[in-house]
Amino acid sequence: MASRIGKSGFTSVVTAAAVVVIASGCGSSGGSSLTTTNVAAAQPASQLAPIHGKYSPAIDPSNFVSTIDNKYWPLEPGTTYHYKGVRGTTPQTDNETVTNQTRNIIGVASTAVRDVVSEHGKPVERTVDYYAQDKQGNVWYMGEDSFEGPATRGSRE
């Protein structure tokens, strides 16, 4: 008995054959190739982000600007950022608000960002984080004031 392939069946067979032909060409090593260089591979990770020894960057206050307008993370006063995540199995929220306040840290005017981490709607950590931007556009973390428990107890990092 002869089988009969309808129009939709014929289309499916042609499509499947086309996929096989295209896929077989994906692994071929044709005449041209693109060569890339991984800059990070040129240096060991320990040099890119050292974890040993003392971290003591050279900070020149004259290399910093007064406004943080980095295109990836502009810190304009009044801006808020809301993050949701999990610590272990506990859901957390992190609400950050950029203030119009600054603090002079080692000669650099640093923008204050209020940061409140909550679990089940209750704050578990309150900090004021300080950031500054250099003339090259890099945003620097300059430290924080942290408050855990009553707001009267705190520590400066």
Asked whether residue 50 is assigned to any structural domain, the reply reads no
Domain boundaries, position 145: 64-152
Asked whether residue 14 is assigned to any structural domain, the reply reads no
Q: Which residue has the higher pLDDT, 6 or 104?
A: 104
Each residue of 83-100: pLDDT tens digit? 999 999 999 999 999 999
Q: Phi then psi for 5, rounded to 5 degrees?
A: -100, 120
Asked whether residue 98 is assigned to any structural domain, the reply reads yes
- Asked if residue 118 has pLDDT above 50, the reply is yes
pLDDT at 39: 55
Full-model pTM: 0.63
Asked whether residue 72 is assigned to any structural domain, the reply reads yes
Instruction: Find out whether 132 and 142 touch, Cβ atoms under 8 Å.
Output: yes
Q: Which residue has the higher pLDDT, 121 or 57?
A: 121
Asked whether residue 119 is assigned to any structural domain, the reply reads yes
**Domain count for the chain:** 1
Handedness of CA 59, 64, 70, 73 (dihedral sign): positive
